[in-house]
């Protein structure tokens, strides 16, 4: 007997890889299922491939980040955020009715936006370093 793909997700035996996220300026958001990673997870976890260098040296282009949908980020946590149809990966600092999005790389600007215009899509939980890690992971399923 073998679990279906949905069964693996429900049992916490896989994490969906849903696309790419810019670690740079806000960019258009596209969520597109790419496959399932053979990693233990839990409902609400999903993976994204980092593009850009606004979070370098902390997160590098090609890293795979796993984020959790649902929890409210704590002060200074890294989060995948959506603003006006554009997405990015930044440190997040709620500040009353505003939200500060800060890059790790000082070459990029810090953004301060109205809180009601920012949607937290997921809070960073862990990463797989570099594209090689993704290539070495067994994808259970791929589009």
Task: Say which of 42, 90, 97, 102 is annotated catalytic.
Answer: 90
Which candidate in 42, 54, 95, 97 is catalytic? 54
Instruction: Let me know if 97 is exposed, middle or buried by CB neighbors in 10 A (0-12, 13-18, 19+).
Output: exposed
Query: Active site includes 90?
Result: yes
- Give alpha helix (H) positions in 15-115: none
Q: Is residue 101 packed enough to be buried (19+ CB in 10 Å), middle (13-18) or exposed (0-12)? A: buried
**Active-site residue flag, 54:** yes
Q: Work out whether strand 86-95 and strand 139-142 pair parallel, antiparallel, or are unpaired.
A: unpaired
- CB–CB of 90/118 below 8 Å? no
Q: Annotated active-site positions, please?
A: 54, 90
């Amino acid at each position: 007997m073998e679990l279906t793909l949905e069964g693996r997700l429900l049992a916490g035996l896989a994490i969906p890889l849903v696309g790419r996220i810019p670690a740079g300026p806000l960019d258009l958001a596209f969520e597109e299922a790419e496959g399932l990673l053979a990693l233990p997870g839990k409902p609400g976890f999903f993976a994204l491939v980092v593009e850009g260098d606004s979070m370098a040296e902390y997160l590098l282009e090609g890293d795979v980040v796993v984020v959790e949908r649902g929890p409210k980020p704590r002060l200074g946590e890294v989060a995948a955020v959506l603003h006006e149809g554009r997405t990015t990966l930044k440190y997040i600092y709620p500040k009353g009715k505003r939200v500060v999005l800060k890059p790790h790389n000082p070459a990029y600007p810090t953004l301060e936006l109205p809180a009601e215009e920012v949607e937290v899509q997921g809070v960073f939980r862990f990463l797989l370093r570099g594209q090689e890690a993704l290539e070495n992971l067994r994808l259970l399923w791929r589009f």
